Structure 1
């Protein structure tokens, strides 16, 4: 959202608890604790990672200017001011980005959900466990297992995992309430063009 003037947006302040990772092991946000409020997820696009990890540390105070989607407790950050005074602004990616080529391995995770994780528009994308593990699921697939991604839910997964300097992330392929109750996550089928057109025609003539 590099086209938005951050100075026109509301400001939220708090302390960084931990970074959050996307399925590729890139930092795409952090959990922020406020003195008078529950922890809130702050989303940042992956192209902000270099500046973010250079200036922001867990335990330090930050201020965030961003937008809040209607259906999630989330701030999609446009600008962040670090404790050292550095301003980190979403200027958009400067070139076509490639995901880091990190070696993934099959990895299990199990525990209690601390926070649901969302994309910048409020779409459910996974969960943060109490032990700090990040579980990621595609937005369409996440809708099918939303109850397991809710705060305080018990969850177990297996999938493609990474251990990085900023934490652990598992892109889930199987999910359940426990490791004895795992089932494959159904991949959402994209709608074919002719199916979408047929549905539109039926609606137009209803």
Structure 2
């Protein structure tokens, strides 16, 4: 069932004082050390690799790629339709862009695959989008549980999501990733509840609650405040989240 509610990711606030139980110890080589992205980005970087999958935002749009060697490629979601027409998982792609030292994310400026190319250029003024944008309120109440396969990062090196072993993508703002960086580790079990989409390219949700199991989920985000001094605003409760 689709629940019409404001796009939570755009205005969610951190729930003060929440935390979830300690997850199992991490395997070697998990998150990046704090400050790894502090150095100046390396411009003119070119990476060639095989596309493992698209990375999706909670609205179901592709905003990146995961390559077979673990490199994450980031691009704006307005390129989602063009990228999906150009590429398929298994294709070899050459991506040019920039990256911060020590961060496994390449910010795309252009890519080539299958004899065609795609560039991140802003649309001309007044130019209509190639297709109507997705209605931002059309999100489903979802839940997901599984082992964390890998962390997802912004192009600055901040953790802003995880990819579970079943390929579900769980997103959250970077401040949540920073607060729970000791618990969000590859190999740890994670249960997430929130709002997102399911489609042909996979499932992605914006987490409002996180925990190692369904019984230990703690709220990490709450609805937008209606005004100064009024306290947290009401957030519609997910009705029958899909598992």
> Is TM (by shorter chain) over 0.5?
yes
Residue 45 of structure 1 pairs with residue 57 of structure 2: no
- Displacement, 1:95? 5.7
Count of residue pairs brought into register by the alignment: 178
Larger helix share, 1 or 2: 1
Q: Which has the higher contact order (CA 8 A, sep 6+)?
A: 2
CA contact (8 A) 2:142 2:195 kept: yes
- Partner of residue 61, structure 1: 92
Q: Relative to structure 1, is the Cα distance of residues 111 and 87 closer, same or farther in structure 2, using a 3 angstrom cutoff?
A: same
> Per-residue CA shift, 1:145-189, capped at 9, x if unaligned?
223433222211111121022110011011011222100004599
Match of 2:118 among 88, 92, 95: 88
- Partner of residue 62, structure 2: 27
Q: Taking structure 2 as the reference length, what is the TM-score of the superposition?
A: 0.66
Residue 73 of structure 1 pairs with residue 108 of structure 2: no
SS class of match (2:215):
coil
Q: How does 1:148-163 map to 2 (within 5 A)?
A: 148-163=183-198
Whole-angstrom CA distance in 2 between matches of 1:187 and 1:53:
33
Q: Relative to structure 1, is the Cα distance of residues 94 and 166 closer, same or farther in structure 2, using a 3 angstrom cutoff?
A: farther
- Partner of residue 16, structure 1: 51
Give the ranges of 4+ consecutive aligned residues of structure 1 lying more than 3 Å apart after TM superposition: 93-99, 186-190
Q: How does 1:108-123 map to 2 (within 5 A)?
A: 108-123=143-158
CA contact (8 A) 2:56 2:62 kept: yes
> Per-residue CA shift, 1:75-99, capped at 9, x if unaligned?
11111111x1111111124469785
SS class of match (1:51):
helix
CA contact (8 A) 1:47 1:93 kept: no
Whole-angstrom CA distance in 2 between matches of 1:72 and 1:142:
15
Q: Taking structure 1 as the reference length, what is the TM-score of the superposition?
A: 0.77
Whole-angstrom CA distance in 2 between matches of 1:189 and 1:159:
15
SS class of match (1:104):
strand
SS class of match (1:126):
strand
Whole-angstrom CA distance in 1 between matches of 2:209 and 2:116:
41
- Displacement, 1:29? 0.4
Q: Which stretches in structure 1 are left out of the alignment for 5+ residues?
A: 1-7, 191-206
Q: Relative to structure 1, is the Cα distance of residues 111 and 120 closer, same or farther in structure 2, using a 3 angstrom cutoff?
A: same
- Partner of residue 182, structure 2: 147
RMSD (CA atoms): 2.4
Q: Relative to structure 1, is the Cα distance of residues 118 and 143 closer, same or farther in structure 2, using a 3 angstrom cutoff?
A: same
Q: Relative to structure 1, is the Cα distance of residues 94 and 188 closer, same or farther in structure 2, using a 3 angstrom cutoff?
A: farther
